[in-house]
């Protein structure tokens, strides 16, 4: 029996019942930690941009891509929170004087920064 192109290139088949299925494996990828931002972006890609998601997955680049997005989002979030807090006068002096006001204002700042990161990096 003549070999298929897949077999000529070094591929192998495995018998599953009456069928011969190719033995396929994904390329090895360096595992990097993916935080909440990367997980959210991965979920978004899987639901709304399936071609890009599966292309990255089969190329073995999904984990590094999501880790990079996570790193960028975390840096942007931290920078935005710091800038907004400075601009609005939310300082350690306010924290020492009125903790509840400081907590409320910081929570508001963090929520706004989260919306900006979500709209600019995660859900695009």
pTM for the model:
0.77
Domain ranges of the chain: 30-122
- Between CA 51 and CA 69 the distance in angstroms is 18
- DSSP string for 24-71: --PPP-------HHHHHHHHHHHHH-HHHHHHHHHHT-HHHHHHHHHH
CA 26, 30, 36, 41: dihedral to nearest 10 degrees? -50
> Angle 36-48/62-88 helices, nearest 10 degrees?
120
**pLDDT tens, N- to C-terminus, the chain (124 residues):** 678 777 778 888 888 888 888 887 766 777 889 999 999 999 999 999 999 999 999 888 999 999 999 999 999 999 999 999 999 999 999 999 999 999 999 999 999 999 999 999 999 8
């Amino acid at each position: 029996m003549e070999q298929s192109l897949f077999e000529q290139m070094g591929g192998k088949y495995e018998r599953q019942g009456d069928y011969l299925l190719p033995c396929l494996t994904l390329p090895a990828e360096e595992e990097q930690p993916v935080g909440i931002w990367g997980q959210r972006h991965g979920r978004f890609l899987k639901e709304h941009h399936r071609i890009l998601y599966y292309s990255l997955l089969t190329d073995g680049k999904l984990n590094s891509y999501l880790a990079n997005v996570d790193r960028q989002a975390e840096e942007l979030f931290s920078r935005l929170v710091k800038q907004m807090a400075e601009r609005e006068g939310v300082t350690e002096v306010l924290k020492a004087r009125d903790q509840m006001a400081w907590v409320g204002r910081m929570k508001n700042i963090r929520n706004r920064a989260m919306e900006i990161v979500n709209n600019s990096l995660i859900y695009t």
